[in-house]
A = this chain, B = another copy of it.
Amino acid sequence: MREGIVRIGVVAPASRIDVSVADRVAALGRRLYPDHSPEIVFHPQCFLSSGHFAGDDEARARAFLEVANDDSFDALWFARGGYGACRLGEPLLPALTAAAREKTYLGYSDAGFLLAGLYRQGFPGVTHGPMPADINRPGGETAVARALAFLVDGAADRPESAPAAAFNITILSHLLGTPFEPDLSGHVLMLEEVSEHLYAIDRALFHLTSTPSIRRVAGIKLGRCSDIPPNQPDFGQNAEEIARHWCAVSGIPYLGRADIGHDIDNKVVPFGRWRVRRSS
């Protein structure tokens, strides 16, 4: 590790990315930080393909552990979401070493399965934020640049004084009660969603807000719910009305909107209590 140079390992525990994503993200890093370009190492596993996944479960778990347990990396960056991080399984977390605990972890969406599991273990560097694959969105360099600003310089937007956590609604719903579920007591819980029907958002928020452990959060902030397919018939409430409904039913404070979502404006949210962190 060269002095002052951040070393970032990228792995894909869910769906694969193209090599072109790696090339463009690396080029952006050099352009934005000409004097101290981050070293962004895309693990070859990112480009594997096995059905739905970026390589089979074993290949993805091995790549994750190789980067997480390598103390020459300052950060582990999730290449993209999609689906599949939960399949890396319960044996993954106990296999993490002290080097893994010191790292920054950055991702969102399906990556939330592992972010949750790491946060449950008390890892201090768990963070919601943009991923390399976001460069494929129109204007996506903005999102990736925000992630790099965090990884290289520790920049993040965090207006919260309470500890925070950010999740995709469906992902958090599917990890409740499993060995991945973190203790979110007292946290501002930010939630976002993409490509789910309003009835499915309603159902998942029923699940979250009816779960005793989630009722201990300080409150819920709703991020953006985008690409919602048409409901048949019209649902009768929009996403924010749904969130307000379930907060009222469950007694969880509704704290307004969060600036997160599956888009280029998706902000960096370090889990836990906010403090300045630098990876290097």
Contact = CB atoms under 8 A, between A and B. Distances in A.
Interface of A: 49-53, 83-84, 86-87, 89-90, 170, 173-180, 198-199, 202-204, 206-207, 210-213, 231, 233-237, 249
Contact of A83 (B199, B211, B237, B249): B199
Contacts of A211: 177-178
Nearest to A90: B210
A87 B206 contact: yes
Contacts of A50: 236
A243 to B, nearest CB: 14
Majority secondary structure, A binding face? loop
Nearest to A15: B233
Interface centre among A51, A175, A231, A249 (most CB of B within 10 A): A51
A165 B126 CA distance: 39
A174 B177 contact: no
Contacts of A204: 174
Given A51-B236, A202-B83, A177 B179 contact: no
A234 B179 CA distance: 28
A86 B174 contact: no
Given A51-B233, A233-B52, A174 B83 contact: no
Contact of A51 (B53, B86, B173, B234): B234
Nearest to A246: B87
B179 A210 contact: yes
Nearest to A173: B174
A51 B178 contact: no
Contacts of A234: 51-52
B175 A51 contact: no
A52 B177 contact: no
A207 B172 CA distance: 10
Contact of A203 (B51, B86, B249): B86
Nearest to A198: B52
A237 B233 CA distance: 33
A211 to B, nearest CB: 5
A211 B213 CA distance: 14
A199 B90 contact: no
Nearest to A214: B177
A170 B207 CA distance: 11
Contacts of A210: 86, 90, 177-180
Contact of A52 (B173, B199, B213): B199
Interface centre among A170, A180, A206, A212 (most CB of B within 10 A): A206
A178 B202 contact: no
Given A83-B202, A89-B249, A202-B83, A175 B52 contact: no
Nearest to A211: B177
